[in-house]
Amino acid sequence: MRKVIQLAGAFLVVAGLSGTIDHLAVQPFWGVALNVFNRQVIPRLPALAGYEVYANLLVSVVGVVVFAAAGRRDDAA
C-alpha cells in the first residue's frame, strides 16, 4: 500500500510541475496525461483565474506531502 501512495504522490509532483510548464509554455511531453488538472480543472474554477501557476505548484506541494507521509507512515509502524 505504501508504494501505491508514494506513486500517487510522485504523480502529483510531476503533474503539478508539468502543468506549470504547460501554463508558461506548451508542454510537449505527456501533455494529455500530466496536464489534466491544468487543462480540465483550473478553467472550470473561476476562483483560480489568474492563479493557475500557483494552483499547479500547489498540486506539486501536495504530492510532496503525500509522498513524505507515505514514507513516514511506514517508518512509524
Give the integer Cα–Cα distance in Å for 43 and 56. 12
- Give Cα separations from 59 to 15, 36, 55, 74, 77 (angstroms): 8, 12, 6, 23, 27
Distance of CA 52 to the CA centre of its chain: 12
Distance, CA of 62 to chain centre: 7
What does the alpha-carbon distance between residue 30 and residue 13 come to, in Å, rounded to a whole number? 14
Give the position of cell 474554477.
Answer: 45
Supply the pLDDT for residue 34: 80
Q: How would residue 59 be classed by pLDDT, with cut points 50, 70 and 90? A: very high
How many structural domains is the chain composed of? 1
Which pLDDT does position 54 carry in this prediction? Answer: 95
60-70 residue pLDDT tens: 999 999 999 98
Which domain range does residue 70 map to? 2-76
Nine-digit cell at 65? 506531502
| Single-letter residue type at 48 | L
